[in-house]
């Protein structure tokens, strides 16, 4: 009888521990969702402010397709051929691509979907402005492909058109050897 009582207590203690863990995870997941939504909203607002100053194509990026992707809508892709959508995914652990990046995309699309993966660092480091810049940058990859220099130049162009300034990316620009690329940062 005593052994059964201990087993039941262990079972309840385990359930209590599990519920406590889940209870603490729910606010964190909700908070991550709020951070994600705020970053996407801020990126979209920045893009909308820049839109009147952008051509139909900037740095090889179809601006209409980019706007649709940034709004999490399906878009027609000349780059990928056909209808494509972006799917935001949150990765809980800092493994694979998240070991090195704050966010990344997996291209080319699989079954018409490009996953945009947000890593733990996206939610724990940096400012809201850097999160929005990350979204602006990664959406270039969603629409136009993996070229880092293209993504940096386009995101800087959007920031410059929207605010009159852009976030300095000099170290990353040099590390990606963008000086030798076809792309330029705004003056």
115 lies in some domain = yes
Quick one: which of 146, 130, 167, 154 has its CA closest to 66?
154
pLDDT at res. 125 = 61
- Domain of 153, CATH number, reads 3.40.390
Structural domain boundaries enclosing 41: 34-180
pLDDT at res. 41 = 97
25 lies in some domain = no
122 lies in some domain = yes
51 lies in some domain = yes
172 lies in some domain = yes
- How far CA 184 is from CA of 64, 94, 101, 155, 174, in Å, comes to 21, 32, 23, 11, 12
What secondary structure letter does DSSP report for 88? Answer: E
187 lies in some domain = no
169 lies in some domain = yes
43 lies in some domain = yes
Residues of the chain with pLDDT under 50: 1-26
Spatial distance between the Cα atoms of 47 and 158, rounded to a whole number of angstroms: 6
Q: Note the pTM of the prediction, 2 decimals.
A: 0.83
């Amino acid at each position: 009888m005593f052994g059964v009582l201990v087993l039941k207590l262990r079972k309840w203690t385990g359930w209590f521990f599990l519920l406590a863990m889940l209870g603490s995870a729910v606010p964190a997941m909700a908070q991550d969702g709020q951070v994600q939504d705020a970053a996407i909203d801020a990126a979209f607002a920045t893009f909308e402010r820049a839109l009147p100053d952008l051509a139909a194509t900037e740095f090889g990026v179809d601006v209409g397709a980019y706007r649709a992707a940034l709004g999490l809508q399906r878009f027609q892709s000349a780059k990928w051929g056909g209808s494509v959508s972006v799917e935001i995914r949150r990765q809980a652990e800092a493994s694979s691509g998240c070991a090195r990046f704050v966010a990344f995309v997996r291209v080319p699309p699989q079954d018409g979907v490009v996953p945009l993966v947000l890593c733990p660092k996206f939610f724990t480091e940096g400012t809201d402005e850097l999160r929005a810049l990350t979204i602006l940058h990664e959406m270039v990859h969603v629409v136009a492909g993996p070229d880092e220099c293209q993504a940096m130049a386009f995101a800087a162009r959007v920031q410059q058109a929207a605010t009159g300034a852009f976030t300095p990316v000099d170290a990353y620009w040099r590390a990606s050897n963008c000086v030798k690329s076809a792309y330029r940062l705004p003056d």
